């Protein structure tokens, strides 16, 4: 699987990492696994990811996993839905991670339209952000 994840170096990210490192780790796992567009085969929506067990996520215990999930829900960074195939986590805003989405002014995640996804034009207009090849 390939793709990109945008990390926002922010006060929110620093606070989550320093105060709730297990929640930060779980959020990172969700961002790495999240779909960047809807999938008609799995029926998963953009921003959703299947979670493995707490060991696979690198957490020390199942209790730490539950606490991390609760922290992410409380901070409104992710939601969780239990299914018969496992837990589906959904990124709910882009305060820390963005996974191939268009973001509105309120930092709420909005899936990019097909037209935006199909565009080959660069999204950055800042000349300082352009790469210099040579």
> In terms of Cα–Cα distance, which of 100, 80, 98, 75 is closest to 90?
80
| Domain 6-118 fold | Arc Repressor Mutant, subunit A (1.10.10)
Both structure tokens of 55:
């060991």
For the chain, domain boundaries: 6-118
DSSP letter for 85, please: T
Place of tokens 């996974």: 99
DSSP letter for 124, please: -
**pLDDT per residue over 47-95, tens digit each?**
888 887 788 888 999 999 999 999 999 999 999 998 888 888 999 988 8
What pLDDT, on a 0 to 100 scale, did the predictor assign at position 1? 53
Is this structure's pTM higher than 0.75?
no
- In Å, how far from its chain's centre is CA 98? 6
């Amino acid at each position: 699987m390939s793709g990109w994840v945008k990390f926002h170096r922010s006060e929110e990210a620093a606070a989550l990492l320093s105060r709730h490192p297990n929640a930060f780790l779980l959020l990172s796992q969700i961002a790495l696994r999240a779909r960047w567009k809807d999938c008609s085969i799995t029926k998963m929506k953009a921003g959703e990811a299947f979670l493995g067990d707490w060991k696979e996520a690198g957490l020390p215990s199942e209790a730490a996993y539950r606490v991390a999930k609760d922290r992410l829900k409380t901070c409104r960074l992710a939601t969780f839905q239990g299914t018969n195939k496992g837990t589906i986590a959904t990124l709910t805003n882009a305060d820390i991670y963005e996974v191939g989405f268009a973001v509105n002014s309120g930092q709420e995640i909005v899936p990019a339209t097909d037209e935006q996804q199909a565009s080959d034009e660069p999204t950055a207009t800042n000349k300082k952000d352009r790469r210099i090849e040579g």
